Amino acid sequence: MHDLMLELALSTSEKEKFCSVYDGRESMEEIGVRRLSIQTTEGEIKVCTAPLASLIDPPLVTNEEEFLRVDALSSPPPQLLRLVLGGKLESVPRWFCSLHSLTYLNLHWTRLEEDLPPHIEALPNLQWLRLDNACAVEELCFSRGFVKLTHLELFNIPLLEKITIEQGVMPNLQLLRFYRCTELKTIPGGFEYLTQLETFYFNCTSEEFYESIVEGGVNHSKFRQRFPSMRM
């Protein structure tokens, strides 16, 4: 039944010129594709890099328990604006630092065990960063860069206990969201430097986190300085 529904959806989408099913018999230039979604249960991304030059939004997704072998993409599309990676990563892809046009980065299931921020801090146009079960670390330190970042979302990072944002980093951050970071102890170090922050969401954090920002908590004054009228 699911296969039949998929065939019907693809058939309709092709007729409406919403998508094209690529089976390798044509080049991507002939198809004229600008957005590419790749999903595999084997983890290996088998894509020639040359046809990717015109892509602006390719989600690369594998099985949650499989490793995503993205280093097969030796050089990313130069005009890449949005990138979604879903699947475990053994390391941060070596080409991350060259994504100069990127405005949106979404990593989920990647469970990286190395420090991610240094690999993406210098991206000049990154505005939105979403990490969903993306890191298997106890601490995230944002020590420089992220000059255009306006949205930072951290979801389902079970080991994370501490976040540090150095002064001058993320000067344009407007939204900060934590969800299911169950070991996070308190607001980020450097929270007071986020002078453009307008919206702060947190849910399913630790009891210690909540106690640190209520009246009498260790970071109550820093929190109230930014959000004097927030009710908790």
Domain extents for the chain? 1-29, 30-226
Cβ atoms of 83 and 61 closer than 8 Å: no
Least confident among 45-49, 125-129, 133-137, 215-219: 45-49
Whether residue 173 is predicted with pLDDT greater than 90 in this model: the reply is yes
Cβ-based neighbour number of residue 77 at 10 Å = 21
Amino acid 205 reads T
Phi, psi of 59 (to 5 degrees): -75, 130
Range scoring the smallest mean pLDDT among 26-35, 63-72, 122-131, 132-141: 26-35
The SS3 of residue 99 is: coil
The sign of the CA dihedral 102, 105, 110, 116 is positive
Q: Does domain 30-226 have CATH number 3.80.10?
A: yes
pLDDT at 172 over 50: yes
- Whether 130 contacts 107, CB under 8 Å: yes
Helix (H) or strand (E) holding 188: none
Region 95-110: what's the mean pLDDT?
92
Separation CA 206–CA 139 (nearest Å): 15
State both tokens at 84: 């979604």
Confidence of residue 54 (pLDDT cuts 50, 70, 90): very low
Mean pLDDT of 72-86: 80
The alpha-helical segments, DSSP class H, found in 16-66 are 28-31
